[in-house]
Each structure stands twice: as structure tokens, then as C-alpha cells.
Amino acid sequence: MNFDISQFIKGFIKKSITRLFLFFIYTLEDLVSDGKLSDEEFQKIRKRVLDNGNNCIREIMQEIENFDFVLINKDNK
């Protein structure tokens, strides 16, 4: 079986960071629905969250390219 650990790590990181910044957006939506944040403020902050989250993902993906990953069987130390 061929398993690309690098792709697995990249996918896991992307999924985790995306889940984090979506949590921030959902929190912002709650603030809007509670009347604590205007729609204009929401859109401004939402854009920042998405831009910074996507930049973070891109930077990590670029940095991961500098590493080689190897799977080691723990039973055969």
C-alpha cells in the first residue's frame, strides 16, 4: 500500500486550521444575531479571519515542503 504521509499531514493541518477560523466566524455570527456587532463590522472582521486563516495555511504548506516524512513501525523500533 502506498501512503503519502506528507499529503496526510497537509490535509490534517488544513482541516484543523479551517475548523478553527470557521469557529471564529460562527462566533461572529452569534454576536451579530445578539445585536452586539453590526453587519458591516461582521463583514470586515470575517474577511480578516478568512484572509489570515488562508495565509496561515499557505505558509505552513510552504514550510512543510522543507521536510521529508517517514513512517516508522513502532513494533520494529
- The three-class DSSP label of residue 56 is helix
pTM over 0.95: no
* pLDDT tens readout for residues 41-51: 999 999 999 99
pLDDT category of residue 9 using cuts at 50, 70 and 90: very high
Q: How confident is the model at residue 1 (pLDDT cuts 50, 70, 90)?
A: low
Per-residue pLDDT tens digits for 13-39 = 999 999 999 999 999 999 999 999 999
Q: For 66, list phi and psi in degrees, rounded to 5.
A: -85, 0
